Each structure stands twice: as C-alpha cells, then as structure tokens.
Structure 1
Amino acid sequence: MAIKKVWIEEGCTSCGVCESICPDVFEMPDEAEVIAGADFEANEECIIDAAESCPVEVIKYE
C-alpha cells in the first residue's frame, strides 16, 4: 500500500502522540498538522502507527 494523502480531521486534542511517533510527518504548532512536503512513502509505517494510536481517531490516510 502506498500512502498518497494524509490529513487530520476536526477534533484534534493536541496530545502530541502523532508527532512523537512520526515526527517527519506530523508537527504540533497548536493542533497537529501534516508537514508540507513530507515523504509519505518513506514514513508509511509510522503514519499508520500514529493513526492507530490517535486517541480521538482524527488522523486519516489513503
């Protein structure tokens, strides 16, 4: 599976889990954000881990 798109839906609680799991894709200025230009293919495993670990399940990918 090649991840082509990653986004965060409304409802982020700014817990920082995604950034700690996958810092090359997610950052936390206020709420979680996907880093522009992040290499999804190289970080596929940690993107999936971050999405599965998100306590409010707002990290989506396809």
Structure 2
Amino acid sequence: MSMMDKLKQMMKGHESHADKGVDKSGDFVDDKTQGKYSGQVDTGQDKLKDEFGTGGREDRPQP
C-alpha cells in the first residue's frame, strides 16, 4: 500500500476537515508571499481537495 493510499484511508470520513486544512495552509502561503503566487496556490488547493477532500463539492453548485 502506497503512502498516498494510506493518507486517503485516514482521511475517509473527514473530508470537510481536510478541506479546512487545505484552505488554511493556502491562506498562510498567500499571506507569506503577499499574494504573489495566489494563482498557483489556488490550483494546488483545488488539486488537494480533489485528492483528499470533498473536491470542492461544498462550494460549487452541482449541475
């Protein structure tokens, strides 16, 4: 079992907590870099949410 599989297994059932952590860490990076890399940070946050969290399902309306 890979490390990624282990992390996914640990996060199962705690997707909203993972999303909060991703948001908080992204905000921290934006603060420290004064928003210089906000586009890249947002892209990273979206990818992490897709992998470990809700995938943005809470924020985005479903078609």
TM-score normalised according to structure 2 size: 0.30
Relative contact order (alpha carbons < 8 A, sep ≥ 6): 1 or 2 greater?
A: 1
* Larger Cα-atom Rg: 2
Q: Which has the higher strand share?
A: 1
